Amino acid sequence: GESVGLHLPTLSVQEGDNSIINCAYSNSASDYFIWYKQESGKGPQFIIDIRSNMDKRQGQRVTVLLNKTVKHLSLQIAATQPGDSAVYFCAENGFRGTYKYIFGTGTRLKVLA
Amino acid sequence: GAVVSQHPSWVICKSGTSVKIECRSLDFQATTMFWYRQFPKQSLMLMATSNEGSKATYEQGVEKDKFLINHASLTLSTLTVTSAHPEDSSFYICSATREGSTDTQYFGPGTRLTVL
């Protein structure tokens, strides 16, 4: 069930602009979704999560939107900073009865100075 | 809270040798630990799920005799790559879930394994 991509799509954003990273998730029965940030050579870092009984959740400079109708998840980063440059993965708890995740293929965010 | 560490952060070994990687939850007891490997520019691939005191559950295609997992305590899991070969070179990452928040996986910093 893990998703493996051959290459990462890249989103280039000007510093100070807002970023929107999208993810199409796999399992309509998934009820928990997470966004992770992974910098080069490091492990994934938890950013924000959302449960299926919500359609929006806000954190510090980040917002996650969930559209269950079309199985779409997005991460919005406000006032993007150079330190936001990383690969962003979405994950869903798509394996019922287990704690395993299905990971998205990832999106590389490049912040242009 | 929810800090996960890995040791070593990188290791270089000769082909045919075995390498052990440790994963520790530093400030919580981990109900479940997961081991992943990640190739460059790719997503994380789950290798196995590990619970303290029981045998690990391996994903399809992962050789359990090659990737030995031991979960001796609620804060420590180890992955041993036996008879390593160059194709085993990869970035190995563990994650852990904790009681009361079993949906959320907290990841370690990863271990870069290079087999010569």
Cα-Cα-Cα-Cα dihedral sign, residues B44, A110, A6, B92: negative
The C-alpha atoms of residue A43 and residue A38 are separated, in whole angstroms, by 6
Band the pLDDT of B40: cuts 50, 70, 90: confident
Sign of CA dihedral B52, B57, B61, B64: positive
pLDDT value, residue A6: 47
Average pLDDT for residues A73-101, to the nearest whole number?
91
Whether the per-residue pLDDT at A5 is higher than 90: the answer is: no
Burial (Cβ within 10 Å: 0-12, 13-18, ≥19) of residue A11: middle
Q: Which residues of B touch A (CB under 8 A)?
A: 2, 4, 6, 32, 34, 41-46, 49, 59, 91, 93, 95, 97, 102-110, 112
DSSP string, chain A: -----SS--EEEEETTS-EEEEEE-S-TT--EEEEEEE-TTS--EEEEEEETT-SEEE-SSEEEEEETTTTEEEEEESS--GGG-EEEEEEE--STTS---EE---EEEEEE-
What percentage of chain B reaches a pLDDT higher than 70? 100
Return the number of other C-beta atoms located less than 10 Å from residue B101's C-beta: 14
Query: Strand B76-81 relative to strand B19-25: parallel, antiparallel, unpaired?
Result: antiparallel
The pLDDT score that the predictor gives to residue B103 is 82
Q: Is the pLDDT of residue A7 over 70?
A: no
Chain B residue whose CA is closest to A108: B41
Predicted confidence (pLDDT) at residue B66 exceeds the cutoff of 80:
yes
Q: Give the model's confidence band at A8: pLDDT under 50 very low, under 70 low, under 90 confident, else very high.
A: confident
Test A5 with B41 for CB contact under 8 angstroms: yes
pLDDT in tens, A31-86: 899 999 999 999 999 999 999 999 999 999 999 999 999 999 999 999 999 999 99
Structure confidence at residue A3 (pLDDT) = 42
pLDDT of residue A89: 95
pLDDT of A1 higher than 80 = no
CB within 8 Å of A113: residues ≥ 6 apart: A15, A82
Q: Which burial class, exposed, middle or buried, applies to B20 when counting CB atoms under 10 A from its CB (0-12, 13-18, 19+)?
A: middle
Q: Do B104 and A34 make contact, defined as CB atoms within 8 angstroms? A: yes
Which pLDDT score is estimated for A73?
95
Between A111 and B54, the higher pLDDT residue: A111
List helix spans (H) across chain B. none
What are the residues facing A74 on neighbouring strands?
Answer: A22, A65
Of residues A2 and B87, more confidently modeled = B87
Average confidence score pLDDT of chain B: 93
